[in-house]
């Protein structure tokens, strides 16, 4: 029996990631911002529009048709989900054999911001914005599949924007199979088994919010109360604690059915 292989995209030369001060189309590369297994993000200067942008460049060694389909999907999903709390894509194209996605350049990630002191009021504001972003995706039948602090980009007006829809799935029917892709530490148990669902994003978002208030990330087997509970109990009302506990229940059926329901419950707590 033959071994199945993924078809590599053919290029006349083997593309390599750009270096600082190098031109890539109209963009002048300034510095590398982040490196992951699938892509590298650079800060660059758009020499035509005169603005700085973030360039997400797919890893050249992984440029198979299947891999590039993920990046195309990310670009198309972002266009579908125009929202104040979702990072828009300015352009997506092949430049010098590289697949490049251009996006607005933020100040830092929510993960970076979590390393410094933060008031409870600010943390609640970030919670509301994160809920807005994920609920908007869910309202359009899209499961993000990689909700984590590093995928929320913070801008200078304290506006959070959710990014990186490369792993996202369009929910067609309940229980459909998917991959176990995501980030260890924020991955819901059922998603790790290849069964992503709306409740998986709820779980990941709950972990992000718990860490936002406690400074601690709950760990397997996610028994309540997790580490850091005394600190979070001093900041939040009992109803808010119950809301957060429901979000990170081990069984998906015990959580909010999606981020829309999670957001509605959050709003009810803060209106009363």
Token pair listed for 163: 């990014």
Could you tell me if 85 and 162 are in contact, meaning their C-beta atoms sit under 8 angstroms apart?
A: yes
From the list 14, 46, 96, 146, the catalytic residue is 146
Per the DSSP assignment, residues forming a β-bridge with 62 are: none
| CB 49 within 8 Å of CB 32 | no
Question: How would you class 220 by CB atoms within 10 Å of its CB: exposed for 0-12, middle for 13-18, buried for 19 or more?
Answer: exposed
From CA 114, how far away is CA 160, in angstroms rounded?
13
46 is catalytic: no
User: Tokens representing 110?
Assistant: 């929510």
HSE-up (13 A, CA, CB side) for residue 38: 17
**Whole-number Cα distances in Å, 222 to 145, 217, 219:** 19, 10, 5
Point out the residues that are catalytic. Answer: 146
């Amino acid at each position: 029996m033959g071994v199945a292989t993924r078809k590599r995209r053919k290029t006349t030369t083997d593309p390599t990631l750009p270096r600082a001060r190098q031109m890539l189309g109209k963009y002048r590369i300034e510095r590398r911002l982040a490196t992951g297994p699938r892509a590298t993000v650079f800060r660059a200067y758009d020499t035509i529009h005169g603005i700085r942008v973030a360039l997400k460049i797919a890893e050249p060694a992984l440029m198979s048709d299947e891999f590039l389909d993920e990046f195309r999907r990310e670009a198309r999903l972002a266009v579908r989900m125009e929202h104040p709390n979702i990072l828009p894509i300015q352009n997506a194209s092949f430049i010098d054999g590289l697949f490049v996605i251009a996006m607005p350049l933020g100040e830092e990630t929510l993960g970076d911001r979590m390393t410094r002191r933060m008031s409870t009021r600010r943390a609640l504001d970030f919670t509301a914005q994160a809920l807005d972003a994920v609920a908007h995706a869910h309202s359009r039948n899209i499961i993000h599949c990689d909700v984590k602090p590093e995928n929320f980009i913070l801008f200078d007006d304290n506006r959070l924007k959710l990014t990186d829809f490369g792993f996202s799935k369009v929910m067609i029917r309940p229980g459909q199979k998917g991959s176990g892709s995501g980030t260890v530490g924020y991955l819901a148990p059922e998603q790790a088994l290849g069964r992503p669902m709306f409740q998986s994003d709820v779980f990941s978002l709950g972990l992000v919010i718990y860490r936002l208030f406690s400074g601690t990330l709950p760990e397997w087997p996610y028994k309540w109360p997790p580490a850091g509970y005394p600190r979070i109990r001093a900041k939040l009302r009992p109803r808010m604690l119950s809301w957060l506990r429901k979000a990170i229940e081990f069984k998906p059926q015990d959580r909010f059915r999606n981020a829309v329901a999670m957001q509605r419950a959050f709003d009810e707590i803060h209106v009363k």
